Chains A and B, each alone.
Chain A
Amino acid sequence: MQQLLPFLLAPWLLTAAHANPFETTLQNGLRIIVKEDHRAPTAVQMVWYRVGSIDEVDGASGVAHVLEHMMFKGTPSVGPGEFNKRVAAAGGKDNAFTSRDYTAYFQQVPKEKLADVMQLEADRMRHLNVDAKEFAQEIKVVMEERRMRTDDAPEAKLFEQMNAVAFQAHPYRRPVIGWMSDLEQMTAADAKAWYDTWYVPNNAYVVISGDVEHAEVFALAEQYYGRLEGRDLPRRKSQIEPQQEGERRITVKAPAELPVLIMGYKAPVLRDVEKESEPYALEMLASVLDGHDAARFNKKLVREDKVALEIGIEYEATARGPGMFYFSGTPSEGHTVADLEAAIRAEIARVQKEGISEAELKRARAQLVASQVYKLDSMFGQAMEIGQTESAGISYRQIERMLDKLQKVTAAEVQAAARKYFTDDRLTVGSLDPQPLDSKPRRSAFATRH
């Protein structure tokens, strides 16, 4: 939610804020959201499908992401690899990303080429070929991607395994890229079934930002996307993670020099923008602890006590599934992960006991205000913000209201949220135990204090 734009805080943009973005819904259920920004003659198109790894089942983990790769393999009218060629020829660039909650595709092009890429996206929304030969090559690429991003990346491996322990029933326990054995057994038919089930206009929305006129974009959308047929979607069963009843711990051994610690607390995410307050309080707490160089963690744990080489917080206040508030860091020379954990716990206890100061809140608000202006510098960022908010089931129209609520968080709310959610029964701790590349002895990550 730190990515949201408070137009209310930028009065010089007020006129634009009321009319912009613009939205329409086609008869087939596809929504089109247009954010006009006339600063430079370029445009961004993003097509978001409401389907991600959260919708996968055991034995087929990673299929959402594999299908994302297959989306570049052609349709009856656009041959394999041709999509990329046409975007490149238009002077554009394109790519895609898959997350737990969504799969999204984007192109950035000179504005006069927007119609071309809209046509291309519309074509593959319903007409993809999932060819077995193409699949056989591409699944190898995905396995290389997994080796690169996870298997050979100690921190990513720790994060993957820690999540698999923190969530036992909920699909968030599975990695987005999929377990290797699932990838090894995946077939073109799995990918095709995924496409046929989820890739329909009524399960998607299109976000377009840039130097465009919304009326023209709506007309183009009608022309290209309007002819596609919608179809009923399978019912999505809600999957509730059973209550955690005690602290969980996991250790991962991997070749590395430095140990890593991740502490994840189960935390709420925003479902009702108006009624809830805790996700806003946690968001502001993240800023107070880790939002800038002067924030508590960097000041105290890195600079003053020198117990951490680096340290950070991850908290997403919006998501389709359950939330986590992560603390992660690397202990400095002479310190262990146990020392770092103790230091983080002490900082948490301080918030729980003493709360935070008005000055700290004020600083967090100042950061928020400035970041809203800076965010306008990127057309891509503006489209991302709309798309991500929508992916969690929250309307982009509520972004302004969320920022308003964020500004109004009180110190008491922050303290109450910290007390309620940072308890051992909600905690999973993951530690990376670094292994030597050769037989040379090294310092242990787990030795007791020196």
Chain B
Amino acid sequence: MSIYYIHQSQKRCIGCRACEIHCKTENDVPVGPRFCAIVPVGPKVVENVPRMNFIFMPCFHCENPWCVSACPTGAMQKRAKDGIVFVEPSLCVGCKSCITACPWGVPQWNRDTGRVFKCDYCRHRVDEGLEPACVTGCTTKALKWITPDMASLDKREKFAREIAENLPY
């Protein structure tokens, strides 16, 4: 079961891309591929201020991953205990079916090995009780390592606070 979720606060993110660099250095990802990416979108003028959105795109570790279904060799796998989707490199033949299948372009091509590699939520860190490097290293603490149910709870609470602020007494 997919039990993890990375929540990004659009308000706190400054688009500095520290997440990308922490990811790359932690996982020794060479120049070119990116396990996670910040996609800057904007500016869009809202109440006279041109605002930006910096969309954080790691792997979402789907409950029913397209990439796993598409993989003909069983290299792309989902970890039973926590739902982390990862590549077993010894089984990858470099067919790129997963790259075709993933709607978000998550699986990355490793030119050096001729195989696919991807975000595995830094499972070596997760297994030590730590958070993924992107979350731990985030400059402004815009990323949070939480469970999906915590994410919905947080969102409800935030919404409730905003509603309450505007309620007349």
Asked whether A and B interact, the reply is no
- Interface set of A (CB-CB < 8 Å, partner B): none
